[in-house]
């Protein structure tokens, strides 16, 4: 099962080819550079790489404005380089998925250029047109700082076209069977070159009612057909969905009980409640989210994360809760974005407190689901707030303390995206230094990944949120096939004593800590008591004393 459903306890690592590593010295990341750095991901224990868009683009939206779905942007390499990247990743046992951005195209895509040439053009109905703009929903404007409408007037043909995102990204008409067929061809093309699936961008916007037309396909029928096509080509391939909706609406995108639509969905609600818990130093909001979280279908999964490539959205918190998180982690307006999120990375938000940062990632890897890392998280990269919007967290990867942070050997003037400076610049935060430091964040995350892979219960098991009697301490257990693991995290800065009750366990079992040395006894009534340090984290495995993992007491 763990082989067939490889994604259930995968470790997913998101990277942008353009900012990861420059292999030809032109100041821009490329596939050749990424090939040279795959061993870093292999040493960490990454099992799946998620590639952000690498297609030809005018690059007005960091590559999400695409002009050709069947090629590699020449700045980043060739199809031959892509195939070589896939071969090297496969050689290390690492699968690869890529962004599927078919909500829209660039307005420079040949399809749209043809579509706006005439109302009778070949590709006219591949996009959404209206004689007059439909009423705008202010809450539906994704980028309220730059757009004030969802419709843009096209002077040549005298109609408006729909754009859910930027005006230079006209939405595709997914009601058109030709567009549906083309999306399947795009999937099929890249799967033939080795991809194991796709991260589907902005799932709820891919099929939506925006005009009075009645010919829109049912979105769930659309995704079921897409998943069926994927499974026919490769039964183990996945769709990883960006579905930022309340739980009641979100679970429908799994395919309800069938699980025949989106394979994995990002858990935005748990992520946002995690930040509220961190801000309050209180495990309550996180515990409430996990208690509310619906169980996905049998062959589906939640994807967990603490950071992604967009703004850190807090849109599912109340206004008052959002202000709490802003006050704790982004008090300056320049740190906020769209009035709903933060454009900062975790280490800067936590003030560089390494104990607290390590605890947050321990929490990520123990939460029920599949953890997803954004490049640079493993070394604690910071953001560059001098860059606009989301670009603040999309700076080049920091490999060494030397020229251009080891990202490129080009003249610094050719590296177009400046790195952070000061405490988070490459001189102080880089891979090569942390590889040599057993106490570094990189060493810690490598260790977490190893233990996460050794604890399939976290990903596969039934989880239960535990009462700790201490507000700052969050604890949960996961049970699978008669095995039990327990994770306990102190979100507070004060050392505390914790007692938990483990139903079904008694003094015939002990709890052995997998992260630090030590074994905890369980009473006959299933109670276990132990200390939790400042921002402490402990992963326990329950077992008999004879089968327990070793600790220092076993060494005479």
Distance between CA atoms of 5 and 237, rounded to whole angstroms? Answer: 9
Q: Which residues make Cβ contacts (< 8 Å) with residue 556, sequence separation at least 6?
A: none
Q: Determine contact, residues 156/116, Cβ cutoff 8 Å.
A: yes
Distance between CA atoms of 146 and 149, rounded to whole angstroms? Answer: 10
Distance between CA atoms of 297 and 254, rounded to whole angstroms? Answer: 7
Annotation says 201 is catalytic: yes
Helix (H) / strand (E) containing 197:
strand 197-200
Annotation says 148 is catalytic: no
Burial 130-156 (b: 16+ CB within 10 A, else e): eeeebeeeeeebbbeeebeebbbebee
Distance between CA atoms of 64 and 106, rounded to whole angstroms? Answer: 8
User: Which member of 73, 242, 383, 479 is catalytic?
Assistant: 242
User: Which member of 99, 107, 201, 261 is catalytic?
Assistant: 201
Length of the chain: 556
Burial 454-468 (b: 16+ CB within 10 A, else e): ebbbbbbbebbbbeb
> Taking CA 16 as the corner, what is the angle to CA 13 and CA 17, rounded to the nearest 5 degrees?
115
Which of 107, 108, 150, 105 shows the shortest CA–CA distance to 132?
150
Which of 144, 135, 128, 260 shows the shortest CA–CA distance to 206?
128
Please give the torsion angle defined by the CA atoms of residues 105, 107, 113 and 116, in that order, rounded to the nearest 10 degrees: 100
Q: Which residues make Cβ contacts (< 8 Å) with residue 470, sequence separation at least 6?
A: 490, 492, 496, 498, 532
Q: Are strands 12-15 and 510-513 parallel, antiparallel or unpaired?
A: unpaired
Q: Determine contact, residues 426/19, Cβ cutoff 8 Å.
A: no
Q: Determine contact, residues 37/395, Cβ cutoff 8 Å.
A: no
The CA-to-CA distance between both ends of the chain, in Å, stands at 39
Distance between CA atoms of 31 and 40, rounded to whole angstroms? Answer: 15
Residues β-bridged to residue 363: none
Dihedral pair phi/psi, residue 443, rounded to 5°: -65, -40
Dihedral pair phi/psi, residue 154, rounded to 5°: -110, 110
Distance between CA atoms of 340 and 385, rounded to whole angstroms? Answer: 17
Distance between CA atoms of 525 and 502, rounded to whole angstroms? Answer: 8
Distance between CA atoms of 67 and 97, rounded to whole angstroms? Answer: 20
Distance between CA atoms of 229 and 453, rounded to whole angstroms? Answer: 30
Which residues are catalytic, by number?
A: 201, 242
């Amino acid at each position: 099962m763990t082989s067939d459903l490889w994604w259930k306890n995968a470790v997913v690592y998101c990277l942008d080819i353009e900012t990861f590593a420059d292999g030809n010295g032109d100041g821009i990341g490329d596939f050749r550079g990424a090939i040279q750095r795959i061993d870093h991901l292999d040493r960490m224990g990454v099992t799946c790489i998620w590639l952000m868009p690498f297609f030809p683009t005018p690059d007005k939206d960091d590559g999400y404005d695409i002009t050709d779905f069947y090629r590699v942007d020449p700045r980043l390499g060739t199809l031959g380089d892509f195939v070589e990247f896939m071969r090297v990743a496969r050689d290390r046992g690492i699968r690869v998925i890529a962004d599927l951005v078919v909500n829209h195209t660039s307005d420079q895509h040949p399809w749209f250029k043809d579509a706006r040439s005439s109302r009778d053009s070949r590709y006219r109905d591949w996009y959404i047109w209206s004689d007059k703009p439909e009423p705008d929903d202010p809450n539906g404007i994704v980028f309220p700082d730059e757009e004030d409408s969802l419709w843009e007037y096209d002077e040549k043909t005298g109609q408006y076209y729909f754009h859910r995102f930027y005006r230079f990204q006209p939405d595709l008409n997914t009601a058109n069977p030709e567009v549906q067929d083309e999306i399947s061809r795009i999937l099929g093309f890249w799967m033939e070159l080795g991809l194991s699936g796709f991260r589907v961008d902005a799932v709820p916007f891919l099929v939506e009612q925006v005009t009075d037309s009645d010919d829109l396909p049912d979105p769930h029928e659309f995704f079921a057909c897409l998943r069926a096509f994927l499974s026919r080509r490769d039964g183990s391939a996945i769709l990883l969905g960006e579905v930022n909706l309340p739980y009641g609406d979100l679970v429908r995108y799994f395919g309800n009980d069938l699980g025949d639509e989106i394979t994995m969905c990002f858990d935005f609600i748990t992520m946002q409640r995690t930040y509220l818990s961190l801000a309050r130093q209180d495990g309550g909001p996180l515990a409430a989210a996990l208690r509310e979280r619906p169980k996905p279908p049998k062959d589906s999964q939640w994807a967990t994360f603490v950071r992604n490539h967009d703004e850190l959205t807090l849109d599912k918190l109340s206004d008052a809760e959002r202000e709490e998180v802003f006050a704790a982690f982004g008090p300056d307006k320049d740190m906020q974005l769209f009035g709903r999120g933060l454009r900062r990375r975790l280490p800067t938000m936590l003030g560089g407190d390494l104990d607290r940062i390590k605890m947050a990632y321990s929490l990520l890897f123990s939460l029920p689901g599949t953890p997803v890392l954004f490049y640079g998280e493993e070394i604690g990269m910071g953001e560059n707030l001098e860059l606009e919007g989301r670009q603040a967290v999309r700076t080049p990867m920091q490999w060494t303390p030397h020229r251009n942070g080891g990202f490129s050997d080009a003249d610094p003037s050719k590296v177009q995206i400046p790195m952070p400076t000061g405490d988070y610049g490459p001189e102080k935060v880089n891979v090569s230094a942390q590889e040599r430091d057993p106490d570094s964040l990189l060493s810690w995350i490598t260790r977490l990944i190893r233990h996460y892979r050794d604890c399939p219960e976290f990903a596969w098991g039934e989880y239960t949120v535990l009462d700790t009697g201490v507000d700052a301490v969050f604890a949960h257990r996961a049970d699978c096939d008669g095995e039990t693991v327990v994770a306990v995290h102190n979100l507070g800065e004060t050392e505390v004593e914790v007692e938990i009750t483990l139903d079904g366990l008694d003094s015939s079992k002990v709890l052995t800590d997998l992260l630090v040395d030590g074994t905890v006894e369980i009473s006959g009534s299933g109670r276990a008591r132990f200390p939790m340090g400042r921002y402490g984290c402990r992963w326990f495995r329950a077992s008999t004393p004879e089968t327990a993992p070793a600790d220092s007491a076993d060494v005479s």
